[in-house]
């Protein structure tokens, strides 16, 4: 009791201890409750507010731990809320009691709690002398009652140590005679000391054995809990850091001030992860309605401060380039101009940033091409077209690292997709108004096409030579056949040629060109009734010409 008077905040902990002792030695629990009620009554009559408050807080916790009956606390509340004795002090004490035992009364004495809440509601409406603090507290209690004390725990976690069947509840009323048993404060000789001491020691051993078992169980639970990995799915810490970075940037009047504040936050460990800082700078820029150089200036100054920021910004550029399809058009524009400004200022090394970009139909999509367009446009706006061309096209150190965008060096002419990639890149830069950057690519494309044509001509010439060799043997055979047949035809010549004679004459016409065919055609137009022999000759001649063409 003396300890509780000096440390009111430990009332719940001491009440938990008393509940354990009361389960084994209920006489001690009853004695403590009796003395507490007597202490309250005495100091209430003397208007000693400090001890009254301490007493009712301890009594309320004992009621909550089911050491003392709730009848006692209900009588105290009735005493405080009586019309004749009602004042702001008694009202504040009633509110203090209900804060502690409100949820317990709602569960075990709901009707009594409803009467008390109704009484507070009437006091709030009719009594004009209620202080402002008490009004706020009463409103809070009314809200808790409407929610059925949903989010209020009766006993704090870890303090409920006694099973329900082991609890001993003592009924002590305010209006009854209570014995304080003051004689127990003094030493008296015990005739049965050894017998009682043995009983006491056996009881202590029983309690301590149970406590040791509980300790072992707790150790096992702790070991199990150590293996559990807790993941914060709400990401509350991340949100707090992001909020801190955002407010710091928005409250800065210049980029120098923003960089100074952000670096100070990093030094004081308020921002423990550099990735969060860079990510928030980029996100703040992307969410603006129009692009602002304020954010790119912050990034440039950070990069100039330390090399670690340079590596991180390169990583974030590649990351945002890969997931750029998740952003809308305005965010695409802001991100493109943000990184374009960093590239134009030489803050980021292009050999490390652009080495994985491939500007072709297969490896890009519309959002990526739009982002690259804004990057190039921002670079030209900052440097001018001639300077950009000098850096990207004429720089012998840079060009081998950006062949995915400008494939003009280390060209593999055996690559079948090279011509398509060159055409795509040329068409892309021409479409966004930067055709001047494609001059060298056009020359490379000509070389690629010429190399391809030479390869085709070689294959054609080889196929033609094999074809001509096969045809040469056929021509010699046909010539020998035509010569022998012409001799026989000269010896047996007649006006009405035989079928055999027509066949020999047609074979002689195998080597006719297209001109005799046209002449035959003209002749056919003049003679409307051609002879049977001439028509047969014409048809056979056309067949021969077609076969030769094939």
Question: What is the pLDDT at residue 337?
Answer: 94
Query: What is the pLDDT confidence band of residue 550, given thresholds at 50, 70 and 90?
Result: low
E strand residue ranges, 356-464? none
Lowest mean pLDDT among 183-197, 220-234, 442-456: 220-234
How far apart (Å, rounded) are the C-alpha atoms in residues 538 and 531?
Answer: 11
Contacts of 519 (CB under 8 A, 6+ apart): none
Contacts of 33 (CB under 8 A, 6+ apart): 59, 62, 67, 68, 72, 170, 172
How far apart (Å, rounded) are the C-alpha atoms in residues 241 and 295?
Answer: 18
| Average confidence score pLDDT of the chain | 80
Question: What is the pLDDT at residue 233?
Answer: 61
Question: What is the pLDDT at residue 210?
Answer: 63
The percent of residues above 70 in pLDDT, for the chain, comes to: 78
Which residue did the predictor score with more confidence, 294 or 537? 294
Does the pLDDT value for residue 248 go beyond 70? Answer: yes
Phi, psi torsion values for 194, nearest 5 degrees: -65, -40
Question: What is the pLDDT at residue 455?
Answer: 63
Question: What is the pLDDT at residue 218?
Answer: 57
Which residue, 313, 358, 369, is CA-closest to 338?
313
In this structure, which topology does domain 2-181 adopt according to CATH? Answer: 1.25.40
Contacts of 325 (CB under 8 A, 6+ apart): 365, 367, 368
How many residues are present in the chain? 550
Lowest mean pLDDT among 81-95, 311-325, 405-419: 405-419
- Asked if residue 399 lies in contact with residue 408, where contact means CB atoms within 8 angstroms, the answer is yes
DSSP string over 209-221? HHHHHHHHHHHHH
Query: What is the pLDDT confidence band of residue 259, given thresholds at 50, 70 and 90?
Result: very high
- Asked if residue 335 lies in contact with residue 372, where contact means CB atoms within 8 angstroms, the answer is no
In 3-state terms, what secondary structure has residue 68?
strand
Question: What is the pLDDT at residue 54?
Answer: 93
Contacts of 303 (CB under 8 A, 6+ apart): 309, 310, 313, 342, 347, 348
Lowest mean pLDDT among 46-50, 168-172, 393-397, 480-484: 480-484
Which residue did the predictor score with more confidence, 12 or 532? 12
Q: Taking residues 194-218, what's their average pLDDT? A: 73
- Asked if residue 21 lies in contact with residue 28, where contact means CB atoms within 8 angstroms, the answer is yes
Q: For residue range 425-460, what is the model confidence (pLDDT) as tens digits?
A: 899 999 999 888 888 888 888 888 877 777 666 655
Number of H helices, E strands in the chain: 23, 0
Question: What is the pLDDT at residue 456?
Answer: 62
Q: Which residues of 367-405 are buried (b: 16+ CB within 10 A; e: fewer)?
A: bbebbbbbbbbbbbebbeeeebbebbbeeeebbebbbbb
pTM of the model: 0.44
Question: What is the pLDDT at residue 57?
Answer: 94
Q: What is the CA radius of gyration of the chain?
A: 52
The percent of residues above 90 in pLDDT, for the chain, comes to: 32
Question: What is the pLDDT at residue 306?
Answer: 86
Is-same-fold flag (2-181; 236-406)? yes
* Cross-strand pairs, 68: 170
Which residue, 221, 326, 332, 215, is CA-closest to 285?
332
Find how far residue 411's CA is from the centre of its chain. 40
In 3-state terms, what secondary structure has residue 170?
strand
Question: What is the pLDDT at residue 213?
Answer: 59
Q: Taking residues 417-425, what's their average pLDDT? A: 84
Helices (H), 228-254: 236-250
Q: With residue 481 as reference, give the H or E element that holds it.
A: helix 439-491
The region that residue 228 occupies, defined by phi over 0 for left and psi between -120 and 50 for alpha, beta otherwise, is beta
Find how far residue 389's CA is from the centre of its chain. 38
Q: For residue range 467-521, what is the model confidence (pLDDT) as tens digits?
A: 444 444 444 433 333 333 333 434 433 333 433 343 433 434 333 333 343 443 4
Does the pLDDT value for residue 536 go beyond 70? Answer: no
Q: Taking residues 26-53, what's their average pLDDT? A: 92
Does the pLDDT value for residue 238 go beyond 90? Answer: no
Instruction: Please give, one letter per residue, the 3-state secondary structure of 175-210.
Output: CCCCCCCHHHHCCCCCCCHHHHHHHHHHHHHHHHHH
* 426 HSE (CA, 13 A, CB side): 16
Helices (H), 46-85: 49-64, 70-80
Question: What is the pLDDT at residue 214?
Answer: 60
26 by Cβ neighbours in 10 Å (0-12 / 13-18 / 19+) ranks as: middle
80 by Cβ neighbours in 10 Å (0-12 / 13-18 / 19+) ranks as: buried
Lowest mean pLDDT among 115-119, 292-296, 482-486: 482-486
CATH of domain 236-406: 1.25.40
Find how far residue 81's CA is from the centre of its chain. 55
How far apart (Å, rounded) are the C-alpha atoms in residues 155 and 20?
Answer: 14
Q: Taking residues 332-347, what's their average pLDDT? A: 92
Query: Domain ranges in the chain?
Result: 2-181, 236-406, 498-550
Lowest mean pLDDT among 129-133, 176-180, 229-233, 490-494: 490-494
């Amino acid at each position: 009791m003396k300890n509780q008077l000096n440390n009111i905040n430990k009332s719940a902990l001491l009440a938990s201890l008393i509940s354990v002792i009361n389960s084994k030695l209920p006489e001690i629990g009853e004695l403590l409750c009796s003395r507490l009620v007597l202490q309250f009554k005495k100091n209430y009559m003397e208007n000693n507010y400090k001890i009254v408050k301490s007493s009712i807080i301890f009594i309320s916790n004992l009621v909550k731990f089911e050491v003392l009956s709730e009848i006692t606390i209900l009588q105290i509340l009735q005493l405080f809320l009586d019309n004749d004795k009602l004042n702001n002090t008694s009202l504040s004490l009633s509110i203090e009691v209900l804060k502690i035992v409100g949820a317990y009364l709602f569960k075990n004495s709901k009707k009594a709690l409803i009467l008390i809440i109704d009484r507070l509601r009437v006091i709030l409406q009719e009594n004009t002398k209620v202080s402002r603090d008490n009004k706020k507290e009463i409103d809070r209690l009314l809200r808790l009652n409407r929610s059925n004390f949903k989010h209020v725990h009766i006993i704090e976690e870890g303090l409920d140590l006694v099973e329900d069947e082991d609890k001993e509840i003592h009924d002590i009323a305010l209006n009854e005679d209570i014995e304080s048993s003051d004689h127990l404060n003094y030493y008296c000789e015990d005739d049965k000391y050894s017998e009682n001491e043995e009983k006491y020691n056996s009881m202590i051993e029983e309690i301590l054995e149970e406590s040791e078992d509980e300790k072992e169980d707790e150790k096992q639970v702790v070991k199990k809990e150590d293996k559990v990995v807790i993941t914060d799915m709400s990401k509350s810490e991340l949100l707090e850091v992001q909020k801190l970075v955002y407010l710091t940037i928005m409250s800065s009047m210049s980029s120098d001030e923003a960089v100074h504040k952000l670096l100070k936050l990093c030094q004081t460990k308020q921002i423990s992860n550099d990735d969060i800082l860079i990510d928030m700078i980029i996100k703040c820029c992307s969410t603006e309605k129009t692009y602002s150089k304020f954010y790119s200036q912050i990034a440039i100054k950070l990069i100039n401060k330390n090399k670690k920021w340079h590596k991180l910004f390169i990583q974030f550029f590649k990351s945002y380039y890969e997931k750029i399809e998740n952003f809308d058009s305005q965010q695409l524009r802001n991100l493109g101009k943000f990184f374009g400004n960093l590239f134009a200022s030489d803050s980021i090394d292009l050999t490390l940033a652009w080495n994985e970009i491939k500007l072709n139909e297969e490896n890009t999509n519309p959002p990526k091409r739009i982002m690259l367009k804004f990057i190039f446009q921002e670079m030209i706006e900052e440097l001018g077209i001639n300077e950009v061309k000098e850096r990207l096209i004429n720089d012998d150190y840079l060009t081998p690292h950006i062949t995915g965008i400008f494939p003009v060096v280390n060209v593999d002419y055996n690559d079948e997709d090279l011509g398509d990639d060159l055409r795509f890149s040329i068409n892309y830069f021409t479409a966004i108004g930067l055709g001047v950057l494609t001059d060298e690519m056009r020359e490379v494309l000509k070389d690629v096409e010429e190399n391809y044509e030479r390869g085709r001509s070689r294959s054609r010439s080889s196929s033609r030579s094999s074809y001509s060799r096969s045809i040469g043997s056929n021509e010699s055979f046909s010539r020998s056949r035509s010569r022998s047949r012409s001799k026989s035809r000269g010896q047996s010549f007649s006006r009405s040629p035989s079928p055999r004679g027509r066949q020999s004459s047609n074979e002689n016409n195998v080597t006719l060109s297209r001109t005799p065919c046209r002449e035959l055609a003209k002749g056919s137009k003049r003679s409307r009734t051609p002879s049977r022999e001439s028509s047969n000759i014409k048809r056979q001649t056309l067949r021969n010409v077609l076969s030769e063409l094939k």
